[in-house]
Amino acid sequence: MKKLILLILCTAAAVTIYWMSGCNGSSTDSNPKTTGDTTSAEFQTASEVFDLAYSVDGMALDGALDLIGQFVTPAAPRQSRPAVTGDPVFHEGSMYWYHVGTATETTFVAGHPDSILNISEWIRIDSLQFMHLDTPKMIPDPALLTEIKAGVQLDGHALMTDDTVHATRHLQVTGEPGSLAALGDVVINAGGTTVAGLTLSSVWRDTLTVCQVGVNMGSTWQNLALNLTAAIDSGKCPTAGSINWSGILAVDCARGDDSLKFNGQWSASQTHNGNLVTRVFENATTRWTVTDTCGSSAATSPFQRGANPLR
């Protein structure tokens, strides 16, 4: 995990900033769902929570790419199995590599380096299979590698707030021979689930906001076309394909005498077309649509690496 992005406090701050905004229920579409107001507290909060879910995708991809890098370089294939303690282990029956890793992160109160804000502990289990066309290989030849199949299980626990995250991802990355090893043009398909329980808090204008957030979502990545180097190094978005989320989102926030609550079925889609990104959020009654260019605050790449939603 090379970059850690502070998303939790951003989520709570968004709830606070947009607290007094109302929903726009004046217009309807042919669905007939109401067209939502993107300045409403409900939308802003839901959008930030979905961004947090995207951060789990970033963690999954981050670790998978690091593990792949132990085997694949543009220069030459490896000639032997890893021999260092903690390195992945090969299972000949399945033709998969497996790796179990742990990590602990301590965060501190801003401006008070001696005051601990939280301690998060993570366990991740990775599996990798390398393909030369239809043939699985123990040690891939970078010039012949055409597909990587990866599985990730992430379990995180914040000790001081008792927050939890459990996530699974299954990824299929395909490309022309040599493209994967060179981090070139690829197509990614993926699926998985995220279940999380989080306590979010922030202070704005001397008033504390506290939110309890529950997420139980399934996600799919469909034919995401991108250049891996551009995505990793520059945060470039895919040029085609979509990411779709669906499941239960529950939010219960309090700020002084005010409150914000919603609990129900939500879905979100992020569709890429060239440099344009269209995001659609829906609950049982309302649909919000945001279209922007890649890199804007409303349309960031899901491939920005190394987020930690338990900070």
pLDDT tens for 52-70 read 777 887 777 777 877 887 8
pLDDT of residue 137: 94
Q: Tell me what pLDDT residue 18 has.
A: 37
Of all residues in the chain, the percent with pLDDT exceeding 90 is 41
pLDDT, position 148: 94
Average pLDDT over the chain reads: 79
* pLDDT at site 294: 80
Position 108 pLDDT exceeds 80: yes
- Written in H, E and C, the secondary structure of the chain is CCCCCCCHHHHHHHHHHCCCCCCCCCCECCCCCEECCCCCHHHHHHHHHHHHHHHHHHHHHHHHHHHHHCCCCCCCCCCCCCCCCCCCEEECCCCEEEEEEEEEEEEEECCEEEEEEEEEEEEEEEEEEEEECCEEECCCCCCCCCEEEEEEEEEEEECCCCCEEEEEEEEEEECCCCCCCCCCEEEEEEEEEEEEEEEEEEEECCEEEEEEEEEEEEEEEEEEEEEHHHHHHHCCCCCEEEEEEEEEEEEEEEECCEEEEEEEEEEEEEEEECCEEEEEEECCCEEEEEEEECCCCCCCCCCCCCCCCCC
The yes-or-no verdict on residue 110 having pLDDT over 90 is no
139-184: per-residue pLDDT in tens? 999 899 999 999 999 999 988 888 899 999 999 999 999 898 888 9
Confidence (pTM): 0.77
**Which pLDDT score, from 0 to 100, does residue 55 have?**
80
Out of 104-108, 165-169, 247-251, pick the least confident: 104-108
Q: Which pLDDT score, from 0 to 100, does residue 95 have? A: 95
Which position has the higher pLDDT, 118 or 280?
280
pLDDT score for 199: 83
- Which of 18-27, 238-247, 250-259 has the highest mean predicted lDDT (pLDDT)? 238-247
